[in-house]
Amino acid sequence: SQQGEEDPQALSIQEGENATMNCSYKTSINNLQWYRQNSGRGLVHLILIRSNEREKHSGRLRVTLDTSKKSSSLLITASRAADTASYFCATDGGGFKTIFGAGTRLFVKA
């Protein structure tokens, strides 16, 4: 089954720096989503980008999608300590399924 794979697995940056996470997937998609998970909590939906879109913004988040390379990136600008979390990409898995990657763990140092 297709699956998003995030890169890097872990990322540690200073507050105020930008954080970039990448996601690669295997087969054609209709949309790709990014979620955030704070430790021990449920996932929170951040942004959905459709296959006919190349870039989308939401506040300090910028998501790009390159369907020719089967890849997406999530950029968090001017990161804050509160951005410390795991970030997952998710792709439509056929039918009503959503396939989640293993995630990138982001640690923002104050």
Partner 1 sequence: DGGITQSPKYLFRKEGQNVTLSCEQNLNHDAMYWYRQDPGQGLRLIYYSQIVNDFQKGDIAEGYSVSREKKESFPLTVTSAQKNPTAFYLCAIRTGGNEQFFGPGTRLTVL
Q: What is the C-alpha to C-alpha distance for residues 8 and 98, in angstroms, rounded to an integer?
A: 21
CB of 103 to partner 1, least distance (A): 6
Total chain residues near partner 1 (CB under 8 A): 23
Which single residue is written with the structure tokens 């640690």? 107
Out of 20, 31, 64, 73, point to the residue binding partner 1 (CB under 8 A). Answer: 31
**CA-to-CA dists, residue 55 to 63, 65, 76, angstroms:** 6, 6, 14
Within 75-94, the residues that bind partner 1 by CB under 8 A are 88, 90, 92
Instruction: Verify binding: residue 36, partner 1, rule CB under 8 A.
Output: no
Across the beta sheet with 19-24, what order do the strands follow?
5-7, 19-24, 71-76, 61-66, 55-58
Interacting residue ranges for partner 1, rule: CB under 8 A: 1, 30-31, 33, 35, 40-45, 48, 88, 90, 92, 96-98, 100-103, 105
